[in-house]
């Protein structure tokens, strides 16, 4: 049997800095989790509302876990709801949003479920569906994109957020 050959993209570690420019998050700690199909974002004080017949959600996002001074107020259209089985085996219905993810030099739209990840180390979990073969992953490495890419992500996120 012949092994599959893939070009792949940039090499990333199991944790990286990312940006969510649509939400105004210029730098957020992310866990790269190929064991998870979907992606999740830490959100608190989640409230659903409707504007002109479109369902929206507003929530608070803490970009660095344990740092209550770095909370961002966010809002987004609701893309749907999904029944998610968490790592502890319990199922819960979560709100799904679509937003841009900036990781390294790439920017693309992903789906995120909103969840209370207070007990988790990372505010953002990036799963297989979001990664979509864009990167090669070294599970023994961390922050391979380095500070430059983090700073670039922050600048892009701020410019994108201010254009809204």
152 φ, ψ to 5°?
Answer: -65, -45
| Amino acid 8: pLDDT | 67
- Summarize pLDDT for 13-43 with one digit per residue, the tens: 999 999 999 998 888 889 999 999 999 999 9
Q: Among all chains, which residue has been given the structure tokens 């254009």? A: 163
What six digits make up the tokens of 124?
A: 């953002």
Report the chain's mean pLDDT, rounded to a whole number: 84
Enter the pTM of the model: 0.83
- Summarize pLDDT for 37-82 with one digit per residue, the tens: 999 999 999 999 999 999 999 999 987 655 555 789 999 999 999 9
pLDDT at residue 104 greater than cutoff 50 = yes
Tell the CATH topology of 11-162.
Cathepsin D, subunit A; domain 1 (2.40.70)
């Amino acid at each position: 049997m012949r092994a599959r050959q893939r070009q792949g993209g940039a090499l990333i570690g199991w944790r990286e800095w990312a940006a969510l420019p649509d939400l105004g998050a210029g730098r957020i700690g992310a866990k790269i989790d190929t064991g998870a199909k979907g992606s999740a974002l830490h959100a608190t004080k989640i409230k659903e509302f409707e504007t002109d017949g479109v369902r929206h959600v507003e929530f608070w996002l803490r970009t660095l876990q344990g740092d209550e001074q770095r909370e961002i107020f966010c809002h987004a259209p609701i893309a749907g709801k999904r029944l998610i089985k968490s790592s502890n085996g319990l199922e819960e219905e979560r709100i799904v949003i679509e937003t841009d993810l900036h990781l390294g030099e790439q920017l693309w739209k992903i789906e995120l479920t909103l969840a209370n990840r207070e007990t988790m180390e990372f505010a953002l979990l990036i799963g297989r569906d979001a990664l979509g073969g864009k990167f090669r992953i070294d599970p023994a490495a961390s922050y391979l994109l380095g500070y430059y890419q983090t700073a670039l992500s922050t600048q892009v996120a701020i410019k994108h957020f201010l254009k809204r």
